[in-house]
Structure 1
Amino acid sequence: MPRFGPKNLFTIGLTSTGTIAILFGFIDLIPTRREFFIASLIIRILEGIGEAAFVTSSFTINANCFPGMLSTILVRPPSFFHVPGKILTFQGILQTCGGIGFSLGPFLGGILYDMGGFRLPFYSLGVAMFLMAFLSRWLIPRDQG
């Protein structure tokens, strides 16, 4: 990460994972079982590399943007604790959003599959990741990348 910086690694990871998602939409065109298996294996390995890049760098960006606020979710402590103010945490929010995504992903993928067949969920995911990579170039502060 020190070589590329977290911001660059984040956008590279999102872009590569988006590209792989779109490529996976074409996997049904491969004619033989052996070629299908090999292509699936290669695509999943490349997807894992891209996802490792953007997920790992997202934790670093999160820690750099919000130092000292990484342990709990946005809460108002009970009155008997007498803790002033709210405790903000962005690591907890990041993990919560990931859990929501894992829960809603299959549901939304099923809807997209019903609407457009096998390829639409992969194309939609790829385009969403490209959009997030594009937006992250401007939304993530320069000094964090």
Structure 2
Amino acid sequence: MPSTPVSDPIAAILAARPLMILDGALATELERRGANLNDPLWSAKVLVEQPELIRQVHYDYFAAGADVATTASYQATFEAFARRGIGADEAADLMRASVQLACQARDAFWADQANRAGRPRPLVAASVGPYGAMLADGSEYKGRATA
């Protein structure tokens, strides 16, 4: 069976321009806008409490020139949500929501024809933290993980 060529959106952007602009620090911007991230879930806490704020930050990064939005899911794991009393189904919904919020922001931005001038359609990248991030003890920075 012949294989169907897979579109590579990163290659397409880089073929048209010499670089891609990534969004900024999501957690830093959420805090600047008043979100309290002093929590083991970090920016994933905002998925639970203020999802619209995440969507707005993504939109604003696109408006500032970002070609890629990174989802609010670095700390979003089944284990981390379970420690907050969030079951597996709701945790999965929250992880999906992190992608949906970024896609909604991208689509709202792209719907305005004026935003398209000279730009590629922005992308959404999932932020997947290492196992150590789920521990919320800095293990991803220290190189050791103990559960």
Report the TM-score, using the length of structure 1 for normalisation.
0.31
Structure label with greater radius of gyration: 1
Q: Which has the higher strand share?
A: 2
Report the TM-score, using the length of structure 2 for normalisation.
0.30
Q: Which has the higher helix share?
A: 1
